[in-house]
Amino acid sequence: MSMRKSTLGLATVIILAILSSMTNITPVAATVPEDMHLTYDFGSQTLAVNVSHYVANTKTHYIETIEILKNGFSVQNTSYNNQSFNWGRYDTFTVSAAVGDNLTVTAFCSKGYSLTRWLVATSGTATNPPSTDTTTSTTEPTESTNPSGTTLGPNPMIGVGVAAAVAVFLIVFFAWLNPDKVPGMFRQVSSRLRTGLSWFGEKVRGAFSWLKTGLGNLVQQIKTRSTSE
């Protein structure tokens, strides 16, 4: 029993190490708004906004707000509770503008990121400058994040898998230390598991024995041939 207790103590240390390591699992980074394409049709006074923002779940991670400024003053602020497409958000807005007016659009992500792009209205169709223009920027949330993006916490599937493994480990050790307290059905399963492991061990030992014998015979044949030559 003392050996069993020692083994259980070691197992407990291992389990605690596993649980503590779960706090260091690399968090899943949120994708930020990558780009935004603006098109302003002067004839219809319509601004089309196309935000590139790929997400896996459009109901939990999405472009939450689009704010439109004209010459530095807010003219529209539209909020959303989901993202219609995995690749991003597309919408059109009626915005009255004269030639030369500056239209600036900021898209806010539900995870705290934002992306800003702008264009100058012309008498025809105007589009925003290339995304490499230094006057546009992607801003990060003020809360603490990792270098790759907004932290969403550990992957839940990893946590579930580790928790299940720990639970099974504890059950098996409890059954090993207290066989009298284990229900009959569990004892049968445990007995079959031990039998299976024993059978597997015998097969492995037999395979190694066969391999050892075969290699020994091969070496002996090589030596015999070398001697005869």
Maximum alpha-carbon separation in the chain: 105
Could you confirm whether domain 35-139 is CATH 2.60.40.730?
Answer: yes
The 10 Å CB-count burial string (b at 16+, else e) for 43-58 is eeeebebbbbbebeeb
Q: With 50 as the cut, is the pLDDT of residue 144 above it?
A: no
- Four-CA torsion 87, 91, 96, 97, nearest 10 degrees: 10
Q: What is the DSSP letter of 152?
A: -
Structure tokens at 221: 């044949």
Residue with the larger pLDDT of the pair 120 and 3: 120
Mean pLDDT of 213-222: 81
Evaluate whether 86 touches 74 at the Cβ level (below 8 Å).
no
Comparing 69-78, 89-98, 185-194, 209-218, the range with the smallest average pLDDT is 185-194
Mean pLDDT of 21-27: 48
**What sign does the dihedral 133-135-138-140 (CA atoms) show?**
positive
What is each CA distance from 223 to 139, 204, 216, 218, 220, in whole angstroms? 76, 29, 11, 9, 5
pTM higher than 0.85: no
What is each CA distance from 194 to 171, 186, 187, 189, in whole angstroms? 15, 12, 10, 9
pLDDT digits (tens, 9 = 90+) for 158-202: 556 667 777 767 766 666 666 665 566 566 666 777 787 788 888
pLDDT digits (tens, 9 = 90+) for 51-69: 999 998 999 999 999 999 9
Mean pLDDT of 11-24: 57
Sorted by sequence, the CB contacts under 8 Å of residue 52 that are 6+ apart come out as 33, 34, 35, 36, 37, 87, 88
Residue with the larger pLDDT of the pair 120 and 218: 120
Q: With 60 as the cut, is the pLDDT of residue 9 above it?
A: no
Evaluate whether 200 touches 194 at the Cβ level (below 8 Å).
no
